[in-house]
Amino acid sequence: MTDKTFSLEGKIILVTGASSGIGRACAIECARAGASVVATGRDPARLEATCDAFPRPCGAYSTSRVADLTVEKDFENLLCACPAPYDGVVHAAGISALRPFAFTKPELFEKLLALNTRIPLELTRRLLKKGMIRDGASIVFISSVAGTGSAAIGQTAYAASKSALCAAAEVMAIELAYQRTRVNCICPGVVDTPIHASVGADVGKLGVASCPLGRAGRPEEIAHAARYLLSDAAAWITGTRLVVDGGLSLR
């Protein structure tokens, strides 16, 4: 008999930021694990490429929705796209920025807090309010080791946004436990994604050099952690920060 402890078969999973990086890897991994995936992202071509990577046949409710979650109309359209209550949500949309504190203006703080903290929390709140997240579901936020005390110089605003996300998720885990809904964060270290590339080659090399395992992570390795937290194998795990960083935070 096949062990389906880590299977997502029969589940419907929403993945944001699915057009690239960790979000793309999570969407593909969930589809490979048997889930119906509702993939959303801002770039139509890249989102289509993500869905093209799904195994065939894929889940019956699998679909994609192009959405810029900073735009209220797109936000509402995504809320209306739900084929059935979700069994899981992976919040992978987000941005990074590297700026010394002395040059970090309020606009940058506001942008990072909006995209990395407020929007994923507000999306979750409205999904719950509309009954679009099933009791016993799993909510996964992609945070960062920068939000757990392992931030680098120049990450003041980014670390603040990710730390706030972790703190909020922990309170949500308590508040939603009555309906057996689990809420967890994954805190990656340096991962080979477009966001990592955007901070600059020199900074990226420094991060990798600080990693005991000697390399950047792969998006698929973060996706494996997400699959675990979405699966029944993690049924007794909530309110945790799962660090996946190759040992970076040990430094």
Which amino acid, residue 46? R
Catalytic residue among 61, 86, 158, 178: 158
The span from the CA of 182 to the CA of 147, in Å, is 20
Identify whether 158 is a catalytic site residue: yes
8 Å CB contact between 184 and 240: yes
Cis peptide before 100 (omega within 30 of 0): no
The span from the CA of 101 to the CA of 76, in Å, is 35
8 Å CB contact between 245 and 145: yes
Cα first-last separation, the chain: 43
**E-strand stretches of 158-208:** 182-188
| Residue positions annotated with a catalytic role | 158
